[in-house]
Amino acid sequence: MPSPSRRLRPLELTNVTIADAFWAPRQRTNREATLPHEYRQCKETGRLDALRLTWKPGQPNPPHIFWDSDVAKWLEAASYSLATHPDPELRKLVDDVAALITSAQQPDGYLNSHFTIVEPQKRWTNLRDAHELYCAGHLMEAAVAHFQATGSRLLLDALCRYADHIDRTFGPEPGKKQGYPGHEEIELALIKLYHATGNERYLRLSKYFIDQRGQQPHYYDQEALARSDDPTKWWARSYEYCQAHKPVRQQDEVVGHAVRAMYLLSGMADVAAQTADDTLLAACRRLWASATERKMYVTGSVGSAGWGERFTSDYNLPNETAYAETCAAIGLVFFAHRMLQIEADAVYADAMERALYNGILSGVSLDGTKFFYENPLASEGKHHRQEWFGCACCPPNIARLLASLGTYAYSAAPDALYVHLYIAGSATASLPKVPIPSGGYSEVALTQETGYPWNGDVKLTVGVQQPSKFDLCLRIPGWCRKHTLRLNGKAVGHRIVKGYARVSRTWANSDRVELSLAMPIERVVAHPRVAEDAGKVALARGPLVYCLEQCDNAAPVRSLILPDKARLTARFDNKLLGGTVVIEGAGLAPTQAGWKGKLYRPADESALRPARFRAIPYCLWDNRSPGPMTVWLPRG
């Protein structure tokens, strides 16, 4: 469906190939290790078999309220993978899982393993906590991905029946429940279902859930009273936890559970774009600024507190206790990607890139079988990835993001092609407002050659059947302070529009653009109000934030000081961590002598000694011997 307020349209996954040395190996690992590993986990923990609906009261391991969402995210990830890398074995598994989910559907369309067999009497009685609509949303996303990858309508039709059931259950009409999900997700999923089917009821239902959120009298109060619960005794204390403390258009600070907030904002951006709703879009812009200008880590992670997995106050960004859930950073990418299509502003792509290369990629081990749920920016050495979690939202979330990465790299406008992410490979796009002399519209193929993120040189070759006039818009990343652009070997004039170098011309086949983004090592400091980082620097190069891990360093990394004048060098080490640029330099470390029996002593009795150090990209930490790690270093 065309979206009235969207300037851009992301390219379809199947129109993008990723063939670089950074992401392509990660995608291969995702296909070959992560997907089979996660399938096994879903099987062994009972998540898959829960959908057989054979569990009986009194038996162990009852299906949990959000198990269905883990299976759904796995299926979505596997479907994206199939779309770009056909694999008959995976296709069979995917179809089996789709059939299994479909088999759990009830005659009235309802589809939830927990509330069908464990607590059937409690269906739709606790929207605030029970995750029914959240699971429904993930199932819808899976169904759309499965349909797009395989052409099979089996699961899509089942989820349409479920969406119809939900539409009959919720809404403003008398006799329907006036509720909305405690954990947002279905809002964005209904928009996907709307785009896949063209059924306007799904768009209306998504908008209803968004509009109804936080209205008075408060649905969660009423619902709790109907269950004979005291709403004032809720553990989370405030409806800020689930962004239901006031109607969304009145919210001006991003609050509460970070994943919920990001999914809600993604759905709001979708509905705003689809319905040309300026007040909703204004709320998205305000909440975007709140999240990224005052509450985001340098790694692109969000949600700093473990209690409630939530956002806290502005500039409160502790490093060692950072919750920074992998799913929350993924949610930020979803939100950023939607805002990017609406505004065509590189500020959104910058944040997307920051999260992708740092706080999200850290979420999975290099071998693809271990995951971080929390992504702290400092560790004493006890924080490690795990093979799975009781609450396993993050592993399949990162799998679906990695498998669908291509769709984040480019967008098409009616007469322009945008490159957001620099990843070697290729893309094809049709530009509907670019007629070609022989009739029809221009199909543009773009080939991207680059060693990004290790260097900032990007070569783009344009493929067109006939000369075509359109704009090529290349993101100049926010981290880049100097760039050059050449066309067919000569410097080319260009405008920078909202962070994109815009080259307008009639393109001929094989035209070649060379973009060079200066990528020196940068010392980054945080806003002065981030008390935790006062007097500290982080190292970054291009999109990557660096950290010091103990196994690379003789001096204790948590007490290492980085003098402002220390010379820093970057070099590619092809043997380390699959090949990576490391940053090295001379720091200072406190001498260990004279401390026996003392916790404090006069400063002038303590000395510093030179200590060489090495830093690696943050996303690669905890892939070798365990030990302390830090992103921020005191400045000397």
Binding site for ligand FUB (CB under 6 A): 66, 183, 259, 309, 325, 327, 391, 393
Q: By C-alpha distance, which of 15, 154, 149 is closest to 78?
A: 149
Strands 490-491 and 483-487: antiparallel
Active site residue 393: yes
Q: Which is nearer to ligand FUB, 257 or 536 (CB)?
A: 257
66 is in the binding site of which of Zn ion, ligand FUB, none (Cβ under 5 to 8 A by kind)? ligand FUB
Q: Which is nearer to Zn ion, 324 or 548 (CB)?
A: 324
Q: Which is nearer to ligand FUB, 283 or 329 (CB)?
A: 329
The rounded distance, in Å, linking the Cα atoms of 618 and 635 is 19
**Other residues' Cβ atoms within 10 Å of the Cβ of residue 150:** 19
183 is in the binding site of which of ligand FUB, Zn ion, none (Cβ under 5 to 8 A by kind)? ligand FUB
Q: Which is nearer to ligand FUB, 158 or 392 (CB)?
A: 392
110 is in the binding site of which of Zn ion, ligand FUB, none (Cβ under 5 to 8 A by kind)? none
Residues in the chain: 636
Q: How far apart are the first and last CA of the chain?
A: 56
Q: Give alpha helix (H) positions in 295-408.
A: 326-343, 346-354, 394-403
**Which of these segments, 40-48, 197-205, 324-332, 426-434, binds Zn ion (CB under 5 A)?**
324-332
Residue from 327, 548, 616, 631 binding Zn ion (CB under 5 A): 327
CB of 48 to ligand FUB, least distance (A): 18
Kindly state the DSSP code that residue 630 receives in the 8-state scheme. E
Q: Which is nearer to ligand FUB, 262 or 633 (CB)?
A: 262
Kindly state the DSSP code that residue 172 receives in the 8-state scheme. S
Kindly state the DSSP code that residue 359 receives in the 8-state scheme. I
CB of 159 to Zn ion, least distance (A): 22
List 76, 132, 240, 309, catalytic entry: 309
Residue from 393, 503, 513, 633 binding Zn ion (CB under 5 A): 393
The rounded distance, in Å, linking the Cα atoms of 364 and 128 is 30
Kindly state the DSSP code that residue 300 receives in the 8-state scheme. S
CB of 129 to Zn ion, least distance (A): 17
Contact letters (x/-) for Zn ion, 348-387, by CB under 5 A? ----------------------------------------
Q: Which is nearer to Zn ion, 269 or 327 (CB)?
A: 327
508 is in the binding site of which of ligand FUB, Zn ion, none (Cβ under 5 to 8 A by kind)? none
- In sequence order, what DSSP letters do the residues of 561-573 get, joined into one string? BB-TT--EEEEEE
- Cα 451–Cα 514–Cα 580 angle in degrees, nearest 5: 10
List 284, 393, 473, 547, catalytic entry: 393
CB of 301 to ligand FUB, least distance (A): 13
Task: Select the residue whose beta carbon is closest to ligand FUB and give its number.
Answer: 259
Would you count residue 254 as binding Zn ion (CB under 5 A)? no
**Which of these segments, 318-326, 381-389, 414-422, 495-503, binds Zn ion (CB under 5 A)?**
318-326
Strand segments, DSSP code E, in 314-463 are 378-379, 410-413, 416-419, 425-435, 441-450, 457-463
Return the structure tokens found at 175. Answer: 């006799």
Active site residue 343: no
Bridge partners of 446, per DSSP, are 427, 462
CB of 183 to ligand FUB, least distance (A): 5
Strand segments, DSSP code E, in 436-552 are 441-450, 457-463, 468-475, 483-487, 490-491, 495-497, 500-507, 512-517, 521-524, 536-541, 544-549
Residue 83 half-sphere exposure, CB side, CA atoms within 13 Å?
28
Spatial CB neighbours of 575, under 8 Å, sequence gap ≥ 6: none
Total binding residues toward Zn ion, as defined by CB under 5 A: 4
Q: Which is nearer to ligand FUB, 325 or 511 (CB)?
A: 325
Residue 416 phi/psi, 5° resolution?
-155, 150
CB of 327 to ligand FUB, least distance (A): 5
CB of 58 to Zn ion, least distance (A): 31
Please identify every residue annotated as catalytic. Answer: 309, 393
Chain residues in the site for Zn ion (CB under 5 A): 325, 327, 393-394
